[in-house]
Chains A and B, each alone.
Chain A
Amino acid sequence: MSHVLPLVRFVEDDEVFRTSQELLLRTHGFEVEGYGSAQEFLAADDLSRPGCIVLDVRMPGMTGLELQQLLNDKGIEIPIIFLSGHGDIAMAVHTMQSGAVSFLEKPVAPRKLLETIASAVEASLTRWRADDAARKGGRSFGRARYAQQGDRARTQHCRGHGEDAPRQCLCKVGRQEPA
C-alpha cells in the first residue's frame, strides 16, 4: 500500500489567526500549509494530497464559497471545513449542500477544531487509500469501501476518548507523531 502524508490547508486572510491555527495543528502532529488567499492556494497547493481545507468564508478576491464551487467544478474531493466570523444559517446550509464537511463559527474552540480536522483528514485519507487500491487493482472497489466504513467507525470510537482524543487517534489517521 502506498504511503502518503495528509496535508491540512488553511486558507485565511488574517495572518495572525492563520499562524495560530497552523501552530496549533503542528503541535498536534499535522502537516500544515497556510495560504493568505484562494488564489494563492490554487497557485501553490498540491491538490492530489489527501487531508482537508480549512477555509475562511470572506476573503478579498475569491471568497471561500467561490473557491468551494471552483473545487467542486474541478472534481477535487478534499474535505472542506468552513470557518466564518459571521456565518448565518443560509450560508451554512449552502456550503454543506455543496459538500462541506463542517461549518464552524469563529472563534471555534481549539479542541473542536482539532476534532473536526482529524475527522475530515481521516475520511480523506481513507478515501484516498481506497481510490489508490482501486487504481492499482490490488483490492476490489467494494472492499475499499468496506475499509472506508471501518475507518469511519474507528473515528467515532476516537471521539469517545474525551479530552485527549485527538492525541490518541493520531496513528489511526496516519499523522506524524507530534514533535
Chain B
Amino acid sequence: MRKTTLVAADALSQISEIRPDFVIASTGTSAFFAHASDSPYRIATRKSAAAKSVSRSIGSTIVALKSRTDINTLADLKGRTVAATLPTSISGWLAVAGEVKDMGFDVEEFFGRVVFLNTLFPNLTAALWGRTVDAVVLPACFLESLEHTQLADTSALKVIDEHKDEALACRHSTLLYPDMSIYGFAWTDEDSARDLTIALLSMPLEAPNAVTGSAAPQWRSNVDASNLDALFRKLALGPYSLEGQFSLANIIARYRTPIIVALLALLALIGHGIILQYLVKRRTRELSEALQSRKKAEALARENRARLGTLERRNIVNQMSGMIAHEIKSPVGAILNFKAILDFILPEKTREDASVATALSGIESEAVKISGIVDRVRRYAKSQKSAQRPCNLSAITKKAIESVRAAASGEAHIRTQLPEAPATVTGDPLELELLIVNLIKNAWQAQSGGSLAASKKGVHPVIAVGIAVAPGMEKGTEKVLGRRNGSVILTVSNPGPVLDDEAFARLNQIADSVKPEGLGMGLSIVRGICDSHAATLNFRRNPAGGVTARVVFAAADPDNSNKESSAS
C-alpha cells in the first residue's frame, strides 16, 4: 500500500493525475466529489463514538470566558474578535459560519475580526485566556477532551448558544455534519473495494483513547450528506463557490442547459419580436388600406346620395309640374270646349255682336294663355330629362341596390333574383334607378314603419327584388303591338304583416292618386316614372304577408339593345 497526501484545494486535478485507488477526504473536501468528473463513490464515513448518527457526527463549539457577561449568545459576538483553526474546516469554522448565515448576517461582516491560528492547543486557548479574542471556535468534543486531559482549566469557560440535543454527547453550538469519508473510483479494483469496505465496517470496537478519553470512531456506509451539501450551498463554498465562477467557461460549463434554454428563449423572443413587428406592419397596412377603402366607399356613398337627391328633386319638380298640368289643363280644356259649344249654338247674329265676340274671344285667348303657362313649366321640367334609350334593367337594379345599401350604411338586407340575360327596356337609366330606389325605400318603410336608419333598431327585413322577362308573341300572329318583344316585370317585395282589405285599398289609393294631397312623394315619383316609361304599376298582397310592387315594362327590341346596353 502506498500513501500520498493531496492538497485539498487541488484534490480533483491531482486525483485525475495520480488515479489513487482510494481517497480519505475530510468532510469539506468530499463536497467537491459530488461534482467531479471521475465519479468517486463513497465507501464508508467515519462516525464519532459520541455521535448517535454518522450523518451528524461533527460540529463546532463556541467558547468564551465566563467572566465575559456581555457575551452569552452568538448574536453578542457581532463586531467582536473570534479565533478559529482553519477557514476550510467544517468543525473548525464553517459550521459557525453557517449559524451566522442562518441568523441572516453576512459572515464576512458579522464579526469584527476572525483570527485563524491553525492549531487548537495551545494557540486558541491562549488567545482566549490572553483576552486577545472575545471567543474561540473549537471542534465539538475538544472541550471535553481538554477537561479529560486537564491540559487547561475549563471551569472559567462557557459554551455560547449550546444546542441542547442528544445527537452528540459533547457540548456544541452549531448544527452537526458527517465526518471524513473513504472514496473509491471507477478504476478501483472491485475486489479491493469490497475488501476495504468489509474491513472498515467490521472493525472491532476499540477501547477509548487513553489520553483524550474519547472512544474510538467507527465506520458507516449509510450516510446522508444532504446537510453538508446545504451548508456548502448556504456559504457558497466548494462546488457552490463563487471564486472563478464568473469566468465565461465556468458559466457555460455550469449553466449549459439553462444558457441554451435562455438563448433559445431569447431567439424565440427575438423571432417573436420580428414576427410581431411584421404582423403589426402588415396589420397597419391592412388597416390603412381598409381605412382608405372605407373612405372611398363613404365618398361613393355621399356621391350616390347626392346624385339620387338631385335626381329626386328633379323628379319632384317633374311630378309637381305633372300634377299642375293635370289639374289645370282639364279645366282649361273644358273652358275651350264650352266656348266652342257657344260658338256652335249661338246664332250668327249674336256671335257677331261686339261684346259677345270680345267675351268669346277673351275666354279663348285667356284659356290658351293659362295653357301656355303650364306648358312652360312642363318644358322646364322636361328640359332636365335625358333622352330615353334601350338599357339593361338588371344592371340598373344592381346599381340602385348599391345606392340603397350605401345610404343605409350596409344595413339593407336585399335579396335579388335577376336574369342572366339582359332585361332590356327603353328608358332613362337615372330615372329607372330612382324608381327602383324608391320602391325599395317604400318596401322598407312599409315593413319597418320608418326610415332606413330606423330599421337598424329592430330586425332587419329582407327586401326581395326580382326581374322576370315574359316572352313576346311571334311575328305574324301578333295582335298586340306593344308586346311584340314581350314584357320586363320588376317586382319589389317586403315581408311585412298581412294587409287587410282596408289597408290594401288605402295603398292602392295612394299609388293611384293624382291629387297632391294623396301622394307620398316616393310613390308619386314611382308613379310618375312609370307613366313616363309607359309602364304599369300595381300592388299585390303576398300570401305570407307584406306587399309586392309590380312594374311591367314593354321589353325593348333586343336588336337595338345589344349595342346600347353598355350605356346603361
Please, which residues of chain B bring their CB within 8 A of the CB of A14? Answer: 330-331, 334
Tell whether B288 is near chain A: CB-to-CB under 8 Å. no
B533 within 8 A of A: yes
**Once bound together, how far apart are the Cα atoms of A69 and B333, in whole Å?**
26
B534/A95 in contact, CB under 8 A: yes
Residues of A within 8 A of B262 (CB): none
Q: Are B534 and A85 in contact (CB under 8 A)?
A: no
Question: Once the chains are docked, how many angstroms separate the CA of A97 from the CA of B556?
Answer: 12
Given A61-B512, A69-B482, A90-B388: A106 and B332 within 8 A (CB)? Answer: yes
Tell me if B336 and A109 are in contact (CB < 8 A). yes
What's the nearest-Cβ distance from chain B to residue A25, in Å? 9
Which residues between 492 and 537 of chain B lie within 8 Å of chain A, taking CB atoms?
509, 512-514, 531-534, 536
Quick one: which of A12, A66, A93, A106 has the most chain B CB within 10 A? A106
A102 in the interface (beta carbon within 8 A)? no
| Nearest B residue to A68, CB-CB | B482
Contacts of A48 in B (CB 8 A): none
**Could you tell me if B334 and A86 are in contact, using CB atoms closer than 8 angstroms?**
no
Residues of A within 8 A of B340 (CB): 24, 110-111
Say yes or no for A72: interface residue by CB 8 A criterion: yes
Q: Which of B85-93, B201-209, B319-327 contacts A (4 or more CB under 8 A)?
A: B319-327
In angstroms, Cα B331 to Cα A16, docked, is 7
Taking the complex as formed, is A4 at the interface, i.e. its CB lies under 8 A from any CB of chain B? Answer: no
Q: Is A20 an interface residue (CB 8 A)?
A: yes
Interface size on B, residues (CB 8 A): 43
**Are B334 and A88 in contact, with the CB atoms below 8 A?**
no
Interface residues of B in 334-391 (CB under 8 A from A): 334-341, 344-345, 367-368, 371, 378, 382, 388
> Distance in Å from the Cβ of A104 to the closest Cβ of chain B?
10
**Once the chains bind, are A86 and B326 in contact (CB under 8 Å)?**
yes
Is A60 touching B512 in the complex (CB atoms < 8 A)? yes
Partner of A106, one of B329, B388, B533, B534: B329
Residue in B326, B337, B367 whose Cβ sees the most chain A Cβ within 10 Å:
B337
- B480 at the A/B interface (Cβ < 8 Å)? yes
Q: Which residue in A61, A107, A113 is a CB contact (below 8 Å) of B332?
A: A107
- Name the residue on B nearest A58 (C-beta): B514
Collect the chain A residues with CB atoms within 8 Å of residue B434's CB.
Answer: none
- Beta-carbon contact of A108 and B532 below 8 Å: no
Roughly how many angstroms separate A95 CA and B480 CA in the complex, as a whole number? 11
**Contact B341–A23 (Cβ < 8 Å):** yes
Q: Is the CB of A20 within 8 A of B338?
A: yes
Residue from A16, A98, A111 within 8 A of B330 (CB atoms): A16
Is B481 on the interface with A (CB-CB < 8 A)?
Answer: yes
B341 and A24 within 8 A (CB): yes
A135 at the interface (CB under 8 A from B): no
Residue among B327, B331, B367 facing the most chain A CB atoms (10 A cut-off): B331
Q: Is A140 on the interface with B (CB-CB < 8 A)?
A: no
Across the two chains, which residue of chain A brings its CB closest to B481? A97
Q: Would you give the shortest CB distance from B473 to chain A, in whole angstroms?
A: 11
A36, CB-defined interface residue at 8 Å? no
Q: A61-B512, A94-B534 are in contact. Are A20 and B334 (CB under 8 A)?
A: yes
Asked whether B322 lies within 8 Å of A23 as measured between CB atoms, the reply is no
**How far, in angstroms, from A84 to B88 measured CA to CA in the complex?**
125
Q: Which of A2-41 contact B (CB under 8 A)?
A: 12-14, 16-17, 19-21, 23-24, 27-28
Central interface residue in B331, B367, B514, B531, by most chain A CB within 10 Å: B531
A160 within 8 A of B: no
A140 shortest CB reach to chain B, Å: 23
Contact of A58 among B326, B382, B534 (CB under 8 A): B326
Report if A85-B329 is in contact (Cβ < 8 Å); known contacts: A66-B536, A110-B337: yes
- Residue of B327, B334, B509 with most chain A CB atoms under a 10 A cut-off: B334
Given the complex of chains A and B, what is the CA–CA distance between A63 and B538 in angstroms?
11
Chain A 67-91 interface 0/1 with B at a Cβ cutoff of 8 Å (1 = within): 0010011010000000101101111
Contact between A85 and B509, CB atoms less than 8 A apart: no
| Whole-angstrom distance between the Cβ of A129 and the nearest chain B Cβ | 21
| CB nearest to A66 among chain B residues | B536
Mask: chain B, 400-430; 1 = CB below 8 Å from A; 0 = not = 0000000000000000000000000011000
In B309-328, which residues have CB < 8 Å from any A CB?
Answer: 321-322, 325-328
Q: Is the CB of A20 within 8 A of B481?
A: no
Please report the C-alpha to C-alpha distance between residue A75 and residue B334 in the assembled complex, in whole angstroms.
32
With A57-B531, A72-B479, A72-B482 already in contact, the answer to whether A27 and B536 are too (CB < 8 A) is no
Asked whether, in the complex, the Cβ of B534 is within 8 Å of the Cβ of A69, the reply is no
Say whether B532 contacts A110, CB under 8 Å.
no
Tell me which residues across on chain A come within 8 A of B327, comparing CB atoms: 85
Chain B residues lying within 8 Å of A21, measured Cβ to Cβ, are: 333-334, 337
B378 & A86 in contact (Cβ 8 Å cutoff): yes
Does chain A have a CB within 8 A of B551?
no
Say whether, besides A24-B341, A57-B531, A108 and B322 are in contact (CB < 8 Å). Answer: no
CB closest residue in chain B, given A98: B482
Q: Is the CB of A60 within 8 A of B514?
A: yes
Does A99 sit at the interface, judged by CB under 8 A? yes
In the complex the two chains form, what is the Cα distance from A91 to B536 in whole Å?
Answer: 11
CB neighbours of B482 from chain A (8 A): 69, 72, 94, 97-99
Complex: A152 Cα to B426 Cα, angstroms: 34
Kindly identify which residue among B367, B481, B514 contacts A99, using a CB–CB cutoff of 8 Å: B481
Q: Report if B160 contacts A (CB, 8 A).
A: no
A111 to B340, alpha carbons, bound, how many Å? 8
Residue numbers in A under 8 Å from B531 (CB-CB) = 57-58, 63, 65, 91
Which residues in B have some Cβ–Cβ distance to A below 8 Å? Answer: 321-322, 325-341, 344-345, 367-368, 371, 378, 382, 388, 426-427, 479-482, 509, 512-514, 531-534, 536, 554
A residues lining the B interface (CB < 8 Å): 12-14, 16-17, 19-21, 23-24, 27-28, 57-61, 63, 65-66, 69, 72-73, 75, 83, 85-86, 88-91, 93-95, 97-99, 105-111, 113
| Apart from A21-B333, A72-B482, A113-B337, 11 more pairs, CB < 8 Å | A13-B514, A14-B334, A19-B334, A59-B512, A61-B512, A66-B536, A98-B480, A99-B480, A106-B329, A107-B367, A111-B340
A-B contact pairs, 14 of them (CB 8 A): A12-B330, A21-B333, A21-B337, A24-B337, A24-B340, A65-B531, A75-B479, A85-B325, A91-B534, A93-B534, A94-B534, A98-B481, A106-B332, A107-B332
Chain A to chain B: the 6 pairs with minimum beta-carbon distance, closest first:
A94-B534, A110-B340, A107-B333, A20-B337, A98-B482, A106-B329
